[in-house]
Amino acid sequence: MKAVPVAGIAGAWLFEPTPHVDARGFFSRTFDREVVASVGIDPDCFAQDSLSRSVKGVIRGMHLRSGAGESKLVRCSYGEVFDVVVDLRPDSPTFRNTEYFRLSGDTQVTVYVPAGCAHGFQALTEPADVSYRIDRPHDPSEDVTIAFDDPDLAIPWPLPVTLTSDRDRSAPSLAEVLRTLR
């Protein structure tokens, strides 16, 4: 497994595994504490693993946490997703930068999303499973959502949107959220 810095988001990383492929399929290490530690991330900081399954076209996001924020490792364990990270840390050298990734069960690449960055994805396959390793327990009172279709974000979602949650559909604009985060 190797760690690759994400150029457009300070502190974000891609962890690229080396799958072992044979006639049976593949075996892949999806987390390696030594590789994670080698880039300055405490591998023991993670407190919760979660999994979402989405149908093709679903958008989940854009989400982040208020307060201390939330860092996470995100991996598409089955299928494929268009993954988005937006840096919303005002003191970051990459503030308001956006990066896009195609994550898939075939590659098992993981993206590290630093605390203070918004995250979301669109399922490109039927279904798509996304695994999250999160650095603190979920507290719904700290949930922050930004409109996935906000023109200031201008995210080029690759498919028509099939479904979103009520929370995502009624989310405020990026400008409104930035005013409340300061």
Catalytic residue numbers read 63, 132
Give CA torsion, residues 70, 71, 76, 77, to 10 deg: -100
Which phi and psi (to 5°) does residue 27 adopt?
Answer: -130, 135
Question: Does the CA dihedral 41-45-51-55 come out positive or negative?
Answer: negative
What's the rounded Cα separation, in Å, for the pair 132 and 135?
10
What's the rounded Cα separation, in Å, for the pair 40 and 58?
33
Q: At residue 165, what is the residue type?
A: S
**Minimal CA–CA distance to 168: which of 36, 25, 18, 54?**
54
CB 75 within 8 A of CB 109: yes
